[in-house]
Amino acid sequence: MRKQTAVTLLAISILLLAVVSFVLVRQIDTGTSGLFPSQSGRMPEMGMNPNMGMGGEVTTELVTSTEKEKELALPPLLEGTLSPDGSISYTIVAQEGSTQLKEGNPTQTYGYNGSLLGPVIRIRSGQKVNIQTENSMDVSTSFHWHGLKVPSKVDGGPHNPIEPGEAANLQFTVNQGASTLWFHPHAEGIAGEQVYEGLAGLIYIEDENSDTLPLPKEYGINDFPVVIQDRFFERDNQLDYARAYNPDGIYGDTLVVNGTINSYIEVKNEKVRLRLLNGSNARNYQFRLSDNSTFYQIASDGGFLNEPIPMENLQLVPGERAEIIVDLSSYSTGEKIKLMEEDVPVLALTITEETTEEPSSLPTTLNIISKGDDTGNPDKVITFSGMGHMVAIDGKRFDMERVDLRAKVGTTEVWEIDNAPDMMGGMIHPFHLHGVQFKVISRNGNAPPANEQGWKDTIALYPDDSVRIEVTFPEKGIFMYHCHILEHEDNGMMGQVLVE
């Protein structure tokens, strides 16, 4: 008996020693605290920290980078091949590479048609599109078109893996209006790691409305893609998914925008359009301008809002997009204004030239989207619950062989999505639905905020939230709905709806 106690005590001591040395090594490695992160700052107005981890502790905090300021990398605009019938063809190759992200060692990364992230694919409403997708990596992947209204065999969910060395040709017709969408891997259980290591690209849909609206639209001059991600670099500048892993989502301490750390753009003192994508695995952002001035949101996930929405703060959860206009007409050459996440700079806008154009006002009407009908009862109720490895939808984990919901193509339904709080307070889950753009018709019985009254494919669910959306699937097939914290998705916080 005494011997047993001694052995137990010894085992506990060894375990404690291991935990303490792990935390110490981690702190020396990173300069941030590992097990007991500080609680300073970062308590936004919604009454809870939007980046709460397991047990309610604040996850890895962002720090202001000490890297030299660099001009923002602009993803190349992918050249397509136009056919006489008006269709356009693109090739997208998922590949391995290495990228100079920080001073010192280059970082091993993944990219589409390059070593990191991907090009911008530009397509037009009504156009026939062919995309040749190829996997030149040595791991399985898939190509998911986040926000695109396409048949499920094109959607690139876990049912459509592309194995190493394999390729697939996708064909679809663009069936939606001007918008900023994105593409990323969605293969079962490995989406988080592949996005973290660099796989993400943008899709721009343009139409007659976006052609004619007087908005900034010169790529890289006054219209910028802004893909915001957080990463955790090891001492040798590598990304180590396994070491950074947290079942409630990976958080990095370093902001990387289009693959650039500490980035700036040089602009004239005119209106500048930023197409923001929260491409992070798990982090929620609260954006503002460094002088707290007003900016205007003109588009949500699925396209233009009905009118520009003036705002001082903008929250984006993982997967969400927003296009904003920053009006620099009251600034002069040499001045700098920064897009901030709380107190950490995201992107500096440096004014290097005075514009010769007359300042114009923003159009008052951008789009015509009718309000959804919130008078009926929901056709479906979906409940998100849990944290870490215990996440579930309607009490279940994802099973590729199980159909969770059924819907009729072209039929409008109301879905209520609930985020059940738990004893530890719960956490924000971003809800994403494939193959469709939906309308938010109410949040906890109230009208949604103005910037959610447009087309959406991803929404924040706060603990205890009950959000109703209006959904009309345009295509048949099997579509995913899931939490867009990629580690939750990979842990099985996902269901599937069969549209017939």
**Residues within the interface to Cu ion (CB under 5 A):** 429, 483, 485, 488
Nearest to 346 by CA among 280, 439, 425, 437: 280
Closer by beta carbon to Cu ion, 219 or else 241? 241
Token representation of residue 244: 């950074």
For the beta carbon of residue 458, count every other beta carbon within 10 angstroms.
22
For the beta carbon of residue 16, count every other beta carbon within 10 angstroms.
10
Q: How far is the CB of 43 from Cu ion (least distance, A)?
A: 21
Q: How far is the CB of 281 from Cu ion (least distance, A)?
A: 11
Tokens 């590598």: give the residue. Answer: 238
Q: How far is the CB of 419 from Cu ion (least distance, A)?
A: 9
> What are the residues whose beta carbons fall under 8 Å from the beta carbon of 311, sequence distance 6 or more?
294, 295, 296, 297, 451
Token representation of residue 46: 């919604």
Q: How far is the CB of 253 from Cu ion (least distance, A)?
A: 21
Closer by beta carbon to Cu ion, 117 or else 391? 391
Please report, for residues 154, 254, 326, 440, the alpha-carbon distance to residue 453 in angstroms, rounded to integers and kept in the order given.
28, 32, 21, 6
Q: How far is the CB of 311 from Cu ion (least distance, A)?
A: 25
Q: How far is the CB of 188 from Cu ion (least distance, A)?
A: 17
Distance CA 17, CA 7 (A): 15
Q: How far is the CB of 375 from Cu ion (least distance, A)?
A: 30
Q: How far is the CB of 423 from Cu ion (least distance, A)?
A: 17
Where do runs of H (alpha helix) occur along 99-244?
Answer: 152-155, 191-196, 208-212, 241-244
Distance CA 146, CA 135 (A): 19
Please report, for residues 172, 296, 438, 457, the alpha-carbon distance to residue 290 in angstroms, rounded to integers and kept in the order given.
42, 15, 33, 29
Q: How far is the CB of 280 from Cu ion (least distance, A)?
A: 13
Tokens 């005075």: give the residue. Answer: 354
Q: How far is the CB of 268 from Cu ion (least distance, A)?
A: 41
Closer by beta carbon to Cu ion, 369 or else 494? 494
Q: How far is the CB of 429 from Cu ion (least distance, A)?
A: 3
Q: How far apart are the first and last CA of the chain?
A: 66
Closer by beta carbon to Cu ion, 124 or else 429? 429
Burial 282-321 (b: 16+ CB within 10 A, else e): bbbbbbbbeeeeebbbbbbbbbbbbbbbebeebbbbbbbb
Per the DSSP assignment, residues forming a β-bridge with 303 are 300
**What pairing do the DSSP bridges indicate for beta strands 494-499 and 179-184?**
unpaired
Nearest to 416 by CA among 452, 440, 392: 440
Residue nearest to Cu ion (CB): 483
Closer by beta carbon to Cu ion, 270 or else 490? 490
DSSP tally for the chain: helices H, then strands E: 6, 32
Token representation of residue 44: 């936004």
Closer by beta carbon to Cu ion, 227 or else 485? 485
Distance CA 226, CA 259 (A): 10
Q: How far is the CB of 177 from Cu ion (least distance, A)?
A: 29
Closer by beta carbon to Cu ion, 181 or else 485? 485
Decide: helix, strand or coil at residue 205: strand
Distance CA 190, CA 486 (A): 9
Closer by beta carbon to Cu ion, 185 or else 492? 492
Closer by beta carbon to Cu ion, 192 or else 252? 192
Closer by beta carbon to Cu ion, 321 or else 488? 488
Closer by beta carbon to Cu ion, 485 or else 497? 485
Closer by beta carbon to Cu ion, 225 or else 426? 426
Give the DSSP letter string of 335-357: -EEEEEETTEEEEEEEEEE---S
